[in-house]
Amino acid sequence: MSLIRRPASVDFLVVGLGNPGDEYSQSRHNAGFMVANALIRKHGLKRPRRRYEGRWVEGEVSGRTVAVLMPQTYMNCSGDAVSLAAKRKHIPTENIIVVHDDMDFPFGVIRARQGGGTGGHNGLKSIVSRLGGEGFSRVRVGIGRPEDAEVDPRDWVLTPFDESEEELAPIFDQAVQCVEMILSEGIEAAMGLFNRRDSGVENEE
């Protein structure tokens, strides 16, 4: 008698958004990829492999069995990878955490949110469309807006960070801590801490 193999249990799906390819690797739009990689390194997870139209790895983070996904579909089609992984691994929308860049917050500000709009972010638009809902959690990494008003925001997000890796590391570490808090204590706890940190912007949640 053959045994039926069921999908390995995954409690949460952490999605880092970005674009594949060396030309985008250091761009502001790839902040989600950078945070996902920082999370993988911190918790000693295995090297991600190609799966579910993205780079995928499973492991334990903050006492939870977690999958980390970095879609390789390009930003505008991120939802294809996320919906495929969520369906195959039976992960409900409310257990998905999406990490992404956000121009509405100053550089380096980290914010948590559950549900809500997409703010014009094409990766979020794709995910909402493919999942059929907005109930997933978000960890937003502030990248600010260009000082020159004539710079097209679409060009801005695709340009590399001006800061060095040493300057960026603490920001991505904070985002990792935000993900960890969502996993261990819930989205409300993460919002309560990160959305009220002194950052020069008012708490909007």
Range of the domain at 26: 12-194
* Residue 94 DSSP symbol: G
Task: State how many domains the chain has.
Answer: 1
Residue 28, in any domain of the structure? yes
Q: Give the pLDDT mean for 135-146.
A: 96
CA 44/CA 38 separation, integer angstroms: 10
| pLDDT score of 47 | 96
* Residue 39 in tokens: 């999370």
CA 101/CA 147 separation, integer angstroms: 17
Residue 153, in any domain of the structure? yes
Q: Give the pLDDT mean for 85-106.
A: 96
Torsion sign, CA atoms 118, 121, 125, 128: negative
Q: Give the pLDDT mean for 50-77.
A: 97
| pLDDT score of 201 | 44
Residue 163, in any domain of the structure? yes
Residue 205, in any domain of the structure? no
| pLDDT score of 199 | 46
Residue 200, in any domain of the structure? no
Asked if the model's pLDDT at residue 1 lies above 70, the reply is: no
Asked if the model's pLDDT at residue 205 lies above 70, the reply is: no
Residue 1, in any domain of the structure? no
Which of these is catalytic: 29, 43, 90, 121?
A: 29
Average pLDDT of the residues of the chain? 92
* Residue 139 DSSP symbol: E
| pLDDT score of 5 | 46
Contacts of 20 (CB under 8 A, 6+ apart): 72, 74
Q: How confident is the model at residue 147 (pLDDT cuts 50, 70, 90)?
A: confident
Q: Give the pLDDT mean for 152-159.
A: 92
pLDDT, one tens digit per residue, over 175-198 is 999 999 999 999 999 999 999 865
Rg (CA), the chain: 16
Residue 172, in any domain of the structure? yes
Is 29 an active-site residue?
yes
pTM: 0.91
Residue 6, in any domain of the structure? no
| pLDDT score of 57 | 98
- Report the CATH number at residue 172: 3.40.50.1470
Q: What is the DSSP string of 51-91?
A: ETTEEEEEEEETTEEEEEEEE-S-GGGHHHHHHHHHHHHT-
